[in-house]
Amino acid sequence: MSQIIRASQSELLKLTTSALEAVDVPPADAALAAEILVTADLIGIDTHGTKRLAPYIARLRDNVFKARPKLKTIQQAATSIIIDGDSGLGPVIGTRALDIALETAAKYGTAFVACRNSQHFGALAPYAMRACRSGMVCFLGTNAFPTMAPWGGRDIKTGNNPIGLGAPRRDAPPFILDIAMSVAARGKMRKAAQ
């Protein structure tokens, strides 16, 4: 049985940022990723929080993820943008894409940003919370490799893609929805197996 170690939010942010910097992630990018992972832990999505740090670091060391991706816009219309993440760390690409979407939506009233060549980016709720802090409604999602059969099917054909929504409210916390396409996210199944 593993021992529970308690750390303050600031300690956990610092440790997570330092761990990512140790594998050549630039300080600003390490801080972005740490914010997403630690926020997931703080809101109870520990399967997609700092628990993902070890696999992320392993993939960075194996050059599956790039520590210093060269993000580029490959297609853009006024409110529709496609970004190539250059196999970068998912929370970094996801946060940068969200920031571009928020900036575009502030200018035009709406935005759609898609990313390709990005890696696992964790829970969707931290991104939705970031959008809500900017006063924006958001709809989030990502693709996933096939892991389950579609409803009524027998063969594995579809991924357990997450879907997220966020909407700020005037006198209450924002509405946040972060769900998997199945009964439970794979991270929760892994946790139960452990």
The structural domains of the chain, with segments of one domain joined by +, span 9-193
Using a cut of 0.85, tell me whether the model's pTM lies above it: yes
- pLDDT band, very low/low/confident/very high, at 1 (cuts 50, 70, 90): low
**pLDDT above 80 (res 153):** yes
When pLDDT is averaged across residues 9-23 and rounded to a whole number, the result is 97
Q: Report the distance separating Cα 170 and Cα 183, nearest Å.
A: 31
Query: Judging by beta carbons within 10 Å of its beta carbon (0-12, 13-18, 19+), is residue 120 exposed, middle or buried?
Result: middle
Give me the pLDDT at residue 190, please.
74
Give me the pLDDT at residue 193, please.
78
Give me the pLDDT at residue 178, please.
94
Q: What is the pLDDT of residues 17-76, one digit of tens each?
A: 999 999 999 999 999 999 999 999 999 998 899 999 999 999 999 999 999 999 999 988
Q: What share of the chain is helix, strand, coil (3-state, %, to 5)?
A: 40, 25, 35
Question: Candidates 3.30.1370.60, 3.40.50.1460, 1.10.3720.10, 1.25.40.420; correct CATH number of 9-193?
Answer: 3.30.1370.60
Token digits for 136? 């924006």
Q: What is the pLDDT of residues 92-149, one digit of tens each?
A: 999 999 999 999 999 999 999 999 998 888 899 999 999 999 999 999 998 888 888 8
